[in-house]
Structure 1
Amino acid sequence: MSNNPTQKTFYSINGNTQKLDGGAMFGNAPKALWQRWVNVDELNRIDLVCRAMLVIDGDKTILFETGIGAFFEPKYRDRYGVQESQHVLLDSLKEAGFSHEDIDILVLSHLHFDHAGGLLTQWEEGKASELLFPNAEFIVGQEAWERACNPHPRDRASFIPGLTDKLEASGRLHLVSNDSSDLLGADYSFYVSSGHTPGMLITKVETIQGPVAFAADLIPGAPWMHLPITMGYDRYPESLIDEKRALLESLKEQGGKVFFTHDPEVALGEVAVNEKGKFFADQPLKKVVRLSM
């Protein structure tokens, strides 16, 4: 942890959107509870985004994740509720004044397709997908990498065949097994969470206004800040709750914020606790554009 963090500029970069089953996203919470927080369609699906975080830190342009992207062929795009055929992340980067070629460092919390699919080119009939971000160094946790290379039957469908081969062949893959990376520097530290998937990296970015945690699937959106709320996709929900509590208590003590990957309404929120002791996202922002911290 840096004692004198540098000022950084933050952006939220939206990728492709999804509609997924609300029951799966809220685990063992009853629909009577979770439908208070989100809209649900006739197929019991809720709206989700796949949001990346872009940080300008001096001469470094750092992207956290890439969303689901547009690599799926149509039948799988429909199966997983992906709403757009074009690669939305690339459009959003352009809107913010950037290109995928501008990214110097790309941090991947884990390699599930809704967080890493945006690494690949848009699907085209008869054409193999290719790796984007030609100038980026890729950071992945060692344990998350091993899981992607040797998935369990429970989550094998969550990984993209051949993606690890492409990342390794790039010559720009960096596997980390501790709480920091020399590429990123002292203002960036990793909190490892395994409740959702083994070795998921939660990156905490130190700013002059307190830390910002890129929460990935530990806390996919503001409703999941409530400690008992987990996803049906989580491998060890009880462990995830303990990990979530530790992170949120630390952020609260430090005046920190959480960046959400999947919440369509909240990109960034301050960690706060209400009169009942429940964590919530205070001062929520739906979009982050050139936010200096």
Structure 2
Amino acid sequence: MKVGAFEIIALNGGQTQMDGGAIFGVVPKPLWSKKYPVNENNQVPLVTHPLLIRTGDKNIIIDTGIGRGKLSEKQIRNYGVTEESKIGEALAKQHLTVEDIDLVLMTHMHFDHATGLTDSEGKAIFPNAWHYVQQDEWHEFISPNIRSKATYWTQNRGTYESKLILFEDEIEPYPGIKMKHTGGHSFGHCIIEFQSEGEKAVHMADILSTTAHINPLWVTAYDDYPMQSIREKERLTRQYAAEGYWILFYHDVSHLAIKLTEDGKHIMSSIKRDE
């Protein structure tokens, strides 16, 4: 899809099948199963597809997928991994290599977003890119607590740290692209806004992980600060709907992007992943 001068392309960063109760939290299954697919093991399919943003003079990647060759057999089983990352192959289809990536923007550092930062030896997958991470998120990543250590993995540290840029509330790594701290899903979680030639889009990452999570009260059991997620969604989805933003997805198995009706409650138009 295009947003003004920005071309946005989903890259194959892998696919998982996570427990439905974890993804939809306290929402009863008879409700969420009407809005999102589920298998006989109560697992829901979630892609981990980074977004490639081609601006004309820069190549930017948002989040990095689950990597390749870094997950143990136990992790592959527990997270229902059906496919590991094929970032190199996906970039080749765009006549690019990992060396051509200029910026890596991380919405947060959970394993399903950050394992593709490095190879199994800790070498940066995108060696020439500046990597942007919210400061609180970074510090929790390198020193997780008893809960967060399950998803902030030391194996995802690596040589990219020599090209690391931290920020607090907001930063504009490229004209028209802003990273904004929201918290909620994690303390340092961020969203990313795009504006170009009068067109607008936003990547709300894991505070709006699938189209089934539009209701502000539907948050995952993985959210460390669920009331903050609800607070952000309540305000932002209505704003983005009213202002005509495309909402982009990293996890939704069917949708790359949607636009909401003005009241923020229903899908008005969509771009499917297979289109």
2:163 alignment counterpart: 172
Whether 1:17 aligns to 2:24 is no
Q: Give the SS at the match of 2:171.
A: coil
Could you tell me whether the CA contact under 8 Å between 1:55 and 1:62 is conserved in 2?
yes
1:151 alignment counterpart: 144
Distance (whole Å) between structure 2 residues aligned to residue 96 and residue 278 of structure 1 = 34
Q: What amino acid maps onto 1:111 in structure 2?
A: M
Distance (whole Å) between structure 1 residues aligned to residue 165 and residue 213 of structure 2 = 30
Q: Give the SS at the match of 2:41.
A: coil
Alignment of 1:92-131 (within 5 A): 92-121=90-119, 128-131=121-124
Q: Write the deviation string for residues 68-99 of structure 1: whole angstroms up to 9, x where unpaired.
A: 122212232222211125x3222222223322
Could you tell me whether the CA contact under 8 Å between 1:61 and 1:104 is conserved in 2?
yes
2:131 alignment counterpart: 138
Q: Give the SS at the match of 2:11.
A: strand
Could you tell me whether the CA contact under 8 Å between 1:167 and 1:173 is conserved in 2?
yes
1:241 alignment counterpart: 230
Q: Give the SS at the match of 1:48.
A: strand
Q: What amino acid maps onto 1:203 in structure 2?
A: I
Could you tell me whether the CA contact under 8 Å between 2:123 and 2:160 is conserved in 1?
no
Q: What amino acid maps onto 1:166 in structure 2?
A: T
Aligned-pair distance for 1:162? Answer: 4.1
Q: Write the deviation string for residues 235-263 of structure 1: whole angstroms up to 9, x where unpaired.
A: 12222111012221221222101111110
Report which structure shows greater RCO (CA 8 Å, sep ≥6): 1
Q: Give the SS at the match of 1:217.
A: helix
Q: What amino acid maps onto 1:249 in structure 2?
A: R
Aligned-pair distance for 1:148? Answer: 0.5
Percent identical pairs in the alignment equals: 28
Aligned-pair distance for 1:26? Answer: 0.3
Unaligned runs of 5+ in 2: none
Could you tell me whether the CA contact under 8 Å between 1:190 and 1:201 is conserved in 2?
yes
> For the structure 1 residues 242 and 38, does the alpha-carbon distance in structure 2 shift closer, same or farther, using more than 3 Å as the test?
same
Q: What amino acid maps onto 1:184 in structure 2?
A: Y
Could you tell me whether the CA contact under 8 Å between 1:225 and 1:281 is conserved in 2?
no
Q: TM-score, normalised by structure 2?
A: 0.92
Aligned-pair distance for 1:209? Answer: 4.4
Unaligned runs of 5+ in 1: none
Distance (whole Å) between structure 2 residues aligned to residue 198 and residue 118 of structure 1 = 21
Q: Which moved more, 1:202-211 or 1:27-36?
A: 202-211
1:211 alignment counterpart: 200
Whether 1:184 aligns to 2:182 is no
Q: What amino acid maps onto 2:142 in structure 1?
A: C
Q: TM-score, normalised by structure 1?
A: 0.86
What count of residue pairs does the alignment treat as equivalent?
272
Alignment of 1:257-272 (within 5 A): 257-272=246-261
